[in-house]
Amino acid sequence: MAGNVIGKVLTLTTFGESHGEAIGGVIDGFPSGLKVDYEFVQKELNRRRPGQSSVVSQRNEPDDAEFLSGILNGYTLGTPIAFIVRNKDYKPEDYDHLKKAYRPSHADFTYDGKYGIRDYRGGGRASARETVARVVGGALAKQLLNRFNILITAYVNCIGPISVDKSYLKLNLEYAENSEVRCPDRSTSEKMISAIKNSDELGDTLGGEITCVISNVPVGLGEPVFNKLNADLAQAVMSINAVKGFEIGSGFAAANMSGSQHNDQFEISDNKIRTKTNYSGGIQGGISNGEDIYFKAAFKPVATLMQEQQTVDSNGKVVTLEGKGRHDVTVVPRAIPIVEAMAALVIADHLLLNKIARLDNL
């Protein structure tokens, strides 16, 4: 299986299956000399872990990261950083009835078609359990970005039909972590929780949207052709399970605007060149311009329903699936640290890549 690595200078390789012994990763290209805050790594894992609130899956995983190499006396060595997160509360027997059945909107059929074999225990590599490795990698990348005062904050702006009709500039993003659904608007948050509980009673699921804001990014990150910063962010975010859409800055709304409305005019503010508006989302020509980078990621409804669904199996026989197991009604609140992690890995990678772009950076 190819495609388990992301990054160019700073790379993350992930491994492991949902109901196997462990999920893990190897981070290569990470600079030496960074003091690792293990408590921060665990905090990020806790934000992603199941069982953290009444509106997420009740699978009980402690998600403790074990670092195997690349760190000595709490400092990075510049060598590959290997880590694992052991699966504790895994129940592969819960999936015995799926050995041959193809679940609607899952990767079962396509995996069989590509590899001729698949891990039916919770989806194997196709499971969102794989993202635990991304969060560990992202937690280290965030600590590197802190050195440059680059901050990444994501929040839930939509679950099902309930959404926040405000720009991130008009929201108190710090409140998001006080909400079970990580929505920074209190009244909208309460409506989202009600929608999730109602859907749960019906055995149904919901999708949603996450907005991510990256601030204090310097001018000059990104390449102008194939490795545009916005393109790499899109690839990273679209690689997250259940993500079906990505838009940056004005996104699809730009198609309905005129050039005179959409252009970000330059001005001098506090002795710096700034833009009066930020429809570009902080990136122009594939390169960061110093303004906030902001994007949205759209998540589909969870494909596993607590309802009967008709499907077929690998023998072409029509079968009926019963909803079983411990599953989220919506993955959106738990996906916040995953989105932030992928953004952090991309920005950190481009930050390191940019150091070799100019002679005076060496």
pLDDT at site 221: 97
Domain ranges of the chain: 5-361
Q: Which tokens belong to 62?
A: 């402690």
DSSP readout, 270-333?
TTEEEES--TTTTEETTEE-SSPEEEEEEEPPPS--SS-EEEEBTTS-EEEEPP-S---S-SHH
Distance CA 129, CA 19 (A): 9
Percentage of residues in the chain with pLDDT exceeding 90? 77
pLDDT at site 95: 73
User: What are 210-226's pLDDT values in tens digits?
Assistant: 999 999 999 999 999 99
Pick the closest to residue 356 from 75, 8, 79 (CA basis).
8
Element (H, E) at 176: none
User: What are 239-270's pLDDT values in tens digits?
Assistant: 999 999 999 999 999 999 999 999 999 999 99
pLDDT at site 18: 85
Beta bridge partners of 206: none
CATH H superfamily, domain 5-361: Chorismate synthase AroC (3.60.150.10)
Beta bridge partners of 273: 268
Rounded to the nearest integer, the mean pLDDT of the chain is: 92
pLDDT at site 345: 98
pLDDT at site 16: 92
pTM of the full structure: 0.94
Helix, strand, or coil (residue 80) = coil
Q: Which residue has the tokens 């041959």?
A: 100
**Residue 267 and residue 37 in contact, taking contact as beta carbons nearer than 8 Å:** no
**Residue 62 and residue 115 in contact, taking contact as beta carbons nearer than 8 Å:** no
Distance CA 266, CA 191 (A): 40
Helix, strand, or coil (residue 244) = strand
**Residue 14 and residue 130 in contact, taking contact as beta carbons nearer than 8 Å:** yes
pLDDT at site 255: 97
More confident residue, 340 or 122: 340
Confidence of residue 359 (pLDDT cuts 50, 70, 90): very low
Distance CA 49, CA 129 (A): 9
pLDDT(362) > 50: no
Segment 43-53 shows an average pLDDT of 84
User: What are 139-162's pLDDT values in tens digits?
Assistant: 999 999 999 999 999 999 999 999
Pick the closest to residue 342 from 136, 82, 45, 83 (CA basis).
136
